[in-house]
């Protein structure tokens, strides 16, 4: 079994930075300190003569609408269910429990924060897709980060080659970035919502990894004794 202690400190550092970023954003948002920059960024993605129309060709808008579903619950639940199912039938019960626990708990925390903070959706531009919950933090950004980074961590545990691990991590980060940017382009989230979602999802995936690593290390010590 691979010694994971050498990766603990970098992951811990990522978790601390992500948590700090989320807390700072939450405080600044509560005092409306991001409104000016949020509005500027939202307007950047719209036609100045018609704010209902996003920049770029028509096909780009449709492409972004489809890409944003990569962070929606139907796609994420389907993906996680398929992965967990594979882990269960292959007898890897520990990783299956880790995956379900990390993602379900992340979903609960994200939903609770939306309910507590209750930030309204942006009204500066027209929404290009329907929304049903509060704005902060972005659920799509949070859960795409939590899910894709958690799955990346799961795969990284199973491979030794650095280039493979780097590729998996980059793909997870890219998917998370695409989902978050799609929410801004579609006008359904303030940019600060997305930044907070990325921070929260990254923190949750990192903390989940640290929790599992700690348990594995404790079990190794028990067996050694």
Structure tokens at 16: 């601390």
Structure tokens at 43: 């307007």
- In this predicted model, which residue has the larger pLDDT, 223 or 142? 142
Mean pLDDT of the chain: 89
Predicted pLDDT at 182: 96
**Crossing angle of helices 191-224/35-44, nearest 10°?**
100
List pLDDT tens digits, range 113-125: 998 988 999 999 9
- In this predicted model, which residue has the larger pLDDT, 175 or 3? 175
Of 98, 108, 42, the residue nearest 73 (C-alpha) = 108
- Beta-carbon count within 10 A of 121 CB: 16
The Cα 3–Cα 221 span in angstroms is 12
pLDDT tier, 225 (very low <50, low <70, confident <90, very high otherwise): low
Domain count, the chain: 1
Q: CA distances (Å), 42 to each of 84, 133, 179, 185, 199, in order?
A: 37, 19, 16, 7, 20
List pLDDT tens digits, range 28-48: 999 989 999 999 999 999 999
Its domain, for residue 26, covers 5-224
The Cα 9–Cα 152 span in angstroms is 18
User: For the whole model, what pTM was predicted?
Assistant: 0.90
Reply yes or no on whether the pLDDT at 208 is more than 90: no
Name the burial class of residue 193, with classes exposed (0-12), middle (13-18) and buried (19+) by CB atoms within 10 angstroms of its CB.
buried
Reduced to 3 states (helix: H, G, I; strand: E, B; else coil), residue 63 is: helix
DSSP string, 143-210: HHHHHHHHHHHHHHHH---HHHHHHHHHHHHHHHHHHHHHHHHTTSS-HHHHHHHHHHHHHHHHHHHH
Reply yes or no on whether the pLDDT at 144 is more than 90: yes
């Amino acid at each position: 079994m691979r010694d994971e202690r050498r990766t603990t400190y970098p992951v811990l550092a990522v978790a601390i930075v992500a948590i700090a970023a989320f807390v700072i954003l939450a405080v600044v948002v509560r005092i409306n300190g991001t409104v000016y920059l949020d509005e500027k960024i939202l307007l950047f993605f719209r036609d100045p003569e018609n704010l209902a129309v996003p920049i770029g060709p028509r096909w780009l808008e449709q492409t972004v609408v489809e890409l944003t579903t990569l962070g929606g619950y139907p796609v994420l639940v389907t993906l996680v269910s398929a992965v967990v199912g594979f882990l269960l039938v292959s007898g890897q019960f520990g990783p299956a429990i880790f995956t379900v626990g990390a993602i379900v708990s992340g979903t609960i925390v994200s939903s609770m924060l939306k309910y507590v903070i209750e930030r309204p959706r942006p009204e500066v531009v027209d929404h290009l897709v329907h929304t049903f919950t509060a704005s902060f933090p972005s659920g799509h950004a949070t859960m795409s980060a939590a899910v894709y980074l958690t799955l990346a961590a799961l795969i990284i545990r199973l491979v030794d080659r650095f280039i493979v691990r780097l590729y998996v991590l980059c793909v997870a980060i890219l998917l998370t970035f695409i989902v978050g940017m799609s929410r801004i382009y579609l006008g359904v989230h303030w940019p600060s919502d997305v930044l907070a979602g990325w921070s929260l999802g990254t923190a949750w995936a990192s903390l989940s990894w640290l929790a599992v690593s700690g348990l594995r290390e404790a079990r190794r010590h028990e067996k050694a004794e």
